A and B are shown apart, each in its own frame.
Chain A
Amino acid sequence: MKGFVPLVLGIFGMLAFSWTGLTLVPSMQIGHIDPQMDEDGNDAYPAPRSGMAERGRRVYVSNGCVYCHSQQIRPDYLASDVDRKWGQRRSAPRDYLFDRPVLLGKMRMGPDLSNVGKRAPVEDENAPASNGPAAASPAPQGNIANANTQPAPPAGKPPAPAAAPSPPAASSPAAPANVAKSNSQSSQPATSTAPPAAVANAAPAAASPSASPAAAQPANPAVAAATSADTSQGDAGPPPYSAVWHHQHLYAPRSVTQDSNMPAFRFLYSKRRIEGEPAADALKISGDAAAPSGYEIVPTYDAQCLVAYLMSLDQSHPLKEVKSDTPVSPPAPAKAVK
């Protein structure tokens, strides 16, 4: 081949072609989309995450969670992601509007996390569900820790419209909701014991009740599936995918899922001597991972942020451009448009 100039022009032209085709043109197509809203300009989705969740994304990135966990649901006619209950619909570009960096992931050594926040139990509802009446006393404690470590409500769920003011009143409405939705539990005895216990060690009493009615409202079909999917969850552990569960899972993965090959993230937790009352958010872990007596294990701020981020992962909101498998909260518009 002769001629330096044609060679250089050709070399530039080739990459310019691919650069334009694969980054610039798509950027024009999907690089400037806005959150979806209903006719009145309400119900915007997606919403930016809270500050804690955003910081949690940094923790997620810096510890390389993305190398094992994807955050994308493929269409149900192409892959089994939806059948696996990892989500109710495929992911769409709009789901990632505010994500930076976007963490689609390329590997599933661990489960997909697109909707892991959605899989969380509705705050108070599941505490009796997984513990039963006998283990009623640890349950409310767990709930308080729960509300503690997750001060920012996940993006998908709007905060409580009007929280009931008094603690007993707040925790009892959760019980009927329970009975209505999941039939595999006897929640009545649990509720009768729970309120006193909750009041007894209710340091942040205000946080716990205000969360409960709000969270009890959206129906949560994924919870049942997720709960049953997790086999090793037989005995008295925290409800799967709750904040307490995430902390325990991050600290000692194999105490939650026996054959998990996830590394433990103990450096996100601090072990310290108990002074006075045990901290409300201390991890309740038995077995090998348990803290020696007189010590407790508490999440660092980074760990709390990470869990806040995980709890904020939720793509269940229907999108106009995507067919939803099962209608979620406001079913009508999603169905109509398809």
Chain B
Amino acid sequence: MDATEIPLKAPPTMTSDVRANDVEHVERALIDASTRVPVLMFYTSAIVWLLLGTLVAGLVSWKMHAPDWLANCSWLTWGRVRPAHTNIMVYGWGCMVGMGTAIWLMARLCRTTLRHPLLLVAGAALWNLGVLLGVGSVLAGESTGYQWLEFPPYAALVLFIAYTIIMSWAVLMFRFRRGDQIYITQWYLLGAFLWFPWMFAAAHVMLFITPVQGVMQSAVNWWFANNLMFLWFGAIGLGTAYYMIPKVIGRPVYSYHLAAIGFWTYALFASWTGMQRLVDAPFPAWMITASIAAAILSIIPVATVAVNHHMTMRGYFSLMRYSPTLRFTVFGAFSYTVFSLFGVFISLRSIARYLQFTQASVAYSHMGLYAFYTMIMFGSMYYIVPRIVGREWRSSSLIKTHFWMSAYGIGLMSMMLIAGAMFEGTALNDPTKEFVQSVYAIQPFIVGRSVSGILLTIAHFVFAYHFVLMLLGLGRTSTLPTFLNPVSAEGSEDGH
């Protein structure tokens, strides 16, 4: 396709040429303006947590091959910085950026301005406080010992109250929505908003208030962790992709029916996974088998979503050359397929006997939370931020740096961990080899993982710098969005 034929139009932002009779544009501008403060609050906090989590991740990764580095300080011991890293990324970065994007999408799709935005700001502040409290107590040695639920109950309570404030406002937008049609993105977002409090509360009740006995705690723990991945992060990520891809290329979703099938099978099958992370653990075999079956069946939603996105994109793939949003979103949507298939692969019993206790599960988490979810979130931020600050991204080369560093970083990290896990798992499962052989096997790959982490660190700092420029109002004033590769000379070069 010739670049000049591409229907790249100026997005209807406030800065675009708004005519008095163009009601839609005015309406959108009003909606965007009403979401400005809370969404920027969520985004800013998320990026601060992202940078912090990235630095802590550096500690975690480096200490694995330099175990004596900073080891003599109790709150910097590996076993504390690791849960600090995962929880910062999950609750600090992932939840906050997801809620920011979701609020904006909800307002746009319900075609209603956000009422009482300051309450959302208060919710965001409280959420920040909860994460800060939780991370602090994990570093102080107060971790609960359940993965992704390490925050002690008091910090979790703060998070829950904050969440209630935030969610009620997001769901209330439905009351004021205009139009009968509920768009695909709204299904996913509504699902995420209703699922999260349930699983968060259920997990805490079953682990801390009326604790279940023995190994059932692990079942509850993994049920929660997996559903947090799929029904919270996954639902927000997929919902966002269903908005961004059609929006950017200016063409409706290929098939509504396919999307409906995808949504309901996703809710059904993805929610039943979880126990496949505990293959051959001390549980009744049916539990694990059910989860493995659910993981395999979740290929159905994966396939429908992939086909739907692919058919929507067909003929427009070359737009990825220009639109940062599209590039990040398509990368994320594609990673969703890879992530899910890898999840099926490692849950098969014959594979799990090798990979069960290796770095493969770390690779899996990163593919889900980063390659899929975070990349889509980056994409949505590249779309949303210009619309709410009224400026365009300043520099296409900063965006390109961000994209390639992130893409290569996460790609390298996944490959390092998966390849390393193969060697590690083979050594682990061979009883004639000493245990330490499995450590030797993974060691070079762990070093490689640290290198990939450097790429991600650069990406995140570049992005944060760019975001701060936007916050300070230093973005470009232009009628054209910032393209990665300028279509025409005028208006899209740097240096305005």
Contacts and interface: CB of A to CB of B under 8 A. Distances in A.
A96 B215 contact: yes
Interface string A65-82: 111101010110011100
- Residue of A7, A95, A262 with highest tally of chain B CB at under 10 A: A7
Contacts of A30: 213-216, 283-284
Interface in B231-284: 231, 256, 260, 264, 267-268, 271-272, 274-275, 277-278, 280-284
Contact of A102 (B80, B217, B358, B438): B217
A233 B213 CA distance: 39
A253 interface: yes
Interface majority SS (helix, strand, loop, mixed), chain B: helix
- Residue of B194, B272, B282 with highest tally of chain A CB at under 10 A: B282
A201 interface: no
Contacts of A11: 190-191, 194-195, 267
Contacts of A257: 436
A300 to B, nearest CB: 11
Contacts of B275: 22
B482 to A, nearest CB: 35
Interface stretch (B24-32, B142-150, B314-322, B462-470): B142-150
A95 B215 CA distance: 9
Interface residues of B, number: 89
Contacts of B77: 63-64, 263, 265, 267
A205 interface: no
- Residue of A75, A83, A94, A96 with highest tally of chain B CB at under 10 A: A96
B144 A97 contact: no
A101 B284 contact: no
B35 interface: no
B227 A15 contact: yes
A217 to B, nearest CB: 28
A33 B79 contact: no
Interface in B432-459: 434-436, 438-440, 442-443
Contact of A84 (B145, B202, B290, B435): B435
Contact of B214 (A7, A65, A79, A99): A99
Interface of A: 1-4, 7-8, 10-12, 14-15, 17-19, 21-23, 26-27, 29-33, 61-68, 70, 72, 74-75, 78-80, 83-84, 90-109, 111, 229, 231, 253, 257, 259-267
Given A23-B216, A26-B283, 18 more contacts: A23-B220, A27-B212, A30-B214, A32-B213, A63-B141, A64-B83, A65-B79, A75-B280, A78-B353, A79-B353, A80-B429, A80-B431, A101-B146, A106-B147, A261-B439, A264-B68, A266-B72, A267-B77
